[in-house]
Structure 1
Amino acid sequence: MSDHCTTTVGSYLASRLEEIGLEHYFAVPGDYNLVLLDKLLENKNLKMISCCNELNAGYAADGYCRATGGASAVFVTYSVGGLSLLNAVAGAYAEDLPVIAVSGGPNTNSEAEFEMLHHTLGELDYDYQREIFSKVTAEAVTIHDPREAPTQIDHAIQTALRFRKPVYIEIACNIASAVTSAPNVRSFGGPTASDPVSLKAAVERATEMLNAATKPVLVSGVKLRSFGAETSFHKLADASGYAIASMPNAKGMFDEQHPHYMGTYWGPVGSPGCGEIVDSSDLCLFAGGTFTDYTTTGHAALIDPTKVIQARPNSVIFPNQTFSNVKLAEFLEELSTKIKSNDGSMIAFKRIQEEVTPLSPGDPETPLSTRQLFSRIQNMLGSDSTVIAETGDSWFNGMQLNLPTGSRFEVQMQYGSIGWSVGATLGYSVGAPNRRPIALIGDGSFQLTAQEVSTIIRYDLKPIIFLMNNRGYTIEVEIHDGPYNTIKNWNYADLVKVFNAEDGNGWSCQVSTEGELDEAIKNAVSQNGPALIEVAIDRDDCSKNLLVWGGHVAKNNGRPPRFA
């Protein structure tokens, strides 16, 4: 805690970030936030991670939230920094991640004195950045008065934690060092509790419907994690006896070694047999699911909405009835004590379940295929693994991985911003030092954010990056091809040498055959620093499911306009 005589706005914010569990924050300096960064550095319990640019810093904050299950913080300068950060914060909003975005701001006297300032739009309006961020955050505040700073900071942090959304705090450059109140003891807590009457009624209705069903099914959704409901879902799965599926953006949030786990429910590109059981069930409970064109393969999933119960973060939706102010974790927890065990859907699944035959390795000189690459990645996975899959073919190949108990899987499927995974790998590595992330990144995506590998090297982090070089945007090729999907090739592995310079500990190599890949993986896992393996893949060598999915999404995108 800061002393009441020496607490500044900057040190107050640092103390609050420490209180809510942060050990690191991400930053890019600029003249409007330099004094603020000085004040943050005075707190020795927080460590600054300096990033190459603001977009990557935001992606890193995204990854840190995923790794820790809590909040993260990112600090930038005004306008040129804040607007560069904006895209990453929008992604965090879409993905329910409480990123605290902090920007330095103009001197409080500048607007009153009609000063034209650098880094701005050249107009006497200095509230535009806060207004823009208000569209992609749950709260956006500007701090101009040190007396009001504690209330504004506390409210913003409380909002981020309660609603699992980013918030924006702008601190004028001459306010960061201004004296304010010392932080008083308080609880920030998380989401509020359910209305007990609504909760009881929703559980009773769900129990009645599920116990009357013949072949009920459970499906896990991405919002289980953001709203603290993973453990409750596991309890319900154990109590129910139902067959269990996961939506694609929720992969890794339910133990794939559970005896009743079927696989990924993803319409025509889901796990074999899984879609058939879900679609033919007489009642499905989707817990924390999102139904977008991406998660439903261009809305090609065949689930009958009259046979679905949707448990959302703050409500439960039945076919003809809605219960509001019911929290997801509490609903699942209560329901697990009420339902009767029913293995009807699991018996049906076992009748059609397909045995998966492991892919045998080829001759060491055999040119690499994505199937052989991912068979090797499968063998690398352990309970402390986290797979970070970039938007693109890595989604579809990654979905085929059989995750050991305890392992995790990260995608940004709602927002789908290519390049996200490089910064997210940085942030995840910082936030989960006892895990070794395995990042799966296509060459097109990598070109957007490659420089953050140098930050990974700078802080001696240890992810293993598989860089798939197929010379283009494969996911875009399968949705709609054109010359814009071809990119300039790089010697990607050589970038690690550039980023190492005189003091780095990164390791890299290029591989094009199965034998070279096997040797590279042995070297990568033995490294005491980051490893990047550039894998040469044929341009047309992509997952069969990407071809199917791309066709459905293209069809959905290409629907002609309807005019009255």
Structure 2
Amino acid sequence: HRQYLGIYEGAMSSPTAREYVEQADLILMLGLTLNDVDTGIYSARLDPNLMVRASKGEVLISHHRYPDIALSDFVTALANKTTHYTHDFPALMKKQGLLDFPQSGTKIHIVRLIERLNQILGPELSVTCDTGDCLFASIELCVPEHSNFYASAFYTCMGFAVPAALGAQLSDPKQRALILVGDGAFQMTGTELSTHARFGLAPIVIVFNNHGYSTERFIMEGPFNDISEWRFDKLGEVFGSIQGYNVFTEEEFDNALKLAIVNTKQISLLNVHLQKDDPSPAMRRLGAHLGNLVNGKK
């Protein structure tokens, strides 16, 4: 949408999006649950007196509850009562031209990876994202109209993306799947790529290989966050028709991505090696917030 500001997730939000939401005169929430993820691990600063929440067959206005109101009826009635709004409201989330990509010999970083993916997103691609830092990083994606973004963001179930993309592609063959998945989540359910291959599907799989459970490392470091090193790019030898790419640099990522886009006959899997200490901006913001709480700061 031309007035899209980005995704609000409490402390994980961009500073601008957070400022707009938390300083708004009114917050209208449609079908939203205020869970741990949507509130940035309960870091959201939202005044209940300024909220209108419509979901689950009821409407909550400030501290008042109005039961037995369907969300569709509420939205229809609200639209019928709303006059045309002419205020020039700035759209802050726009695809920006990616300068100097790729930089030869430069290691690929998660921010640059997401920026590059933003340049290829179109209505012919649907994004299926797993749980982990790939999910937090993906809040910077600008998914276009008539495309889709699938994620288990409420339950945060690891291992969602590869099998979910299988169902999405079979239900809508016109949209090719772009799968974003961490190395830990892939080791749980990535074997479903063999089913993708059996049905002749050709998703583009980006493995965010940060060598373990990066989100868990952020909570508590320890050897329990380490996992076995897989050569994900070699899985075609086991699962079937998969073209793999082992990626360490921006140049390798750019070349592999271009080849994957034009290769519509088989699965393309990019094993993208990221540094353990290279979290997404959203993860950094949340880390700073939680660090302040631990140190007794607001």
Give me the TM-score of the superposition, normalised by structure 2.
0.90
**Matches of 2:197 and 2:95, distance apart in 1:** 38
Q: Does 1:432 align with 2:166?
A: no
Q: Quote the offset at 1:328 in angstroms.
A: 0.6
**Matches of 2:136 and 2:98, distance apart in 1:** 17
The corresponding residue for 1:537 is 274
**Matches of 1:471 and 1:261, distance apart in 2:** 34
> Within 5 Å, which residues of 2 pair with 1:292-303?
292-303=35-46
**Any stretches of 5+ residues in structure 1 without a counterpart?**
1-257, 559-564
Q: Which of 265, 284, 287 matches 1:547?
A: 284
Equivalent position SS for 1:457: helix
Q: Which of 367, 391, 406 matches 2:107?
A: 367
> Within 5 Å, which residues of 2 pair with 1:402-481?
402-481=142-221
The corresponding residue for 2:29 is 286
The corresponding residue for 1:508 is 244
Asked if 2 retains the 8 angstrom alpha-carbon contact of 1:394 and 1:441, the reply is yes
Asked if 2 retains the 8 angstrom alpha-carbon contact of 1:479 and 1:553, the reply is no
Q: Quote the offset at 1:357 in angstroms.
A: 5.1
**Matches of 2:81 and 2:244, distance apart in 1:** 54
Q: Deviations over 1:323-379 (max 9, x none)?
A: 2111111210121011234456x64x57xx598754421423222111222222111
**Matches of 2:95 and 2:155, distance apart in 1:** 32
Q: Does 1:490 align with 2:225?
A: no
Asked if 1 retains the 8 angstrom alpha-carbon contact of 2:11 and 2:289, the reply is no
Q: Does 1:266 align with 2:9?
A: yes
Asked if 2 retains the 8 angstrom alpha-carbon contact of 1:313 and 1:327, the reply is yes
**Matches of 2:94 and 2:15, distance apart in 1:** 10
Equivalent position SS for 1:441: strand
Q: Quote the offset at 1:551 in angstroms.
A: 5.8
- Give the % identical residues: 31
The corresponding residue for 1:401 is 141
Quickly say closer, same or farther: Cα 1:355–1:295, change in 2 above 3 A: closer
Equivalent position SS for 1:493: helix
Q: Quote the offset at 1:311 in angstroms.
A: 0.7
Equivalent position SS for 1:261: coil
Q: Does 1:518 align with 2:254?
A: yes
Q: Cα RMSD (Å) of the superposition?
A: 2.2
Q: Which of 375, 379, 384 matches 2:124?
A: 384
**Matches of 1:532 and 1:362, distance apart in 2:** 19
**Matches of 1:277 and 1:371, distance apart in 2:** 23
Quickly say closer, same or farther: Cα 1:356–1:405, change in 2 above 3 A: closer
The structure with more radius of gyration: 1
Asked if 1 retains the 8 angstrom alpha-carbon contact of 2:123 and 2:144, the reply is yes
**Matches of 2:292 and 2:109, distance apart in 1:** 28
Greater RCO (Cα-Cα under 8 Å, separation 6 or more) = 2
Quickly say closer, same or farther: Cα 1:428–1:277, change in 2 above 3 A: same
The letter for the 2-side match of 1:456 is: H
Equivalent position SS for 1:546: helix
Asked if 2 retains the 8 angstrom alpha-carbon contact of 1:467 and 1:534, the reply is yes
Equivalent position SS for 1:364: coil
Equivalent position SS for 2:173: coil
Equivalent position SS for 1:510: strand
**Matches of 1:363 and 1:282, distance apart in 2:** 44
**Matches of 2:6 and 2:243, distance apart in 1:** 35
Moved more, 285-294 or 312-321: 312-321
The corresponding residue for 1:311 is 54
Q: Deviations over 1:61-115 (max 9, x none)?
A: xxxxxxxxxxxxxxxxxxxxxxxxxxxxxxxxxxxxxxxxxxxxxxxxxxxxxxx
**Matches of 1:269 and 1:427, distance apart in 2:** 30
The corresponding residue for 1:324 is 67
Equivalent position SS for 1:292: coil
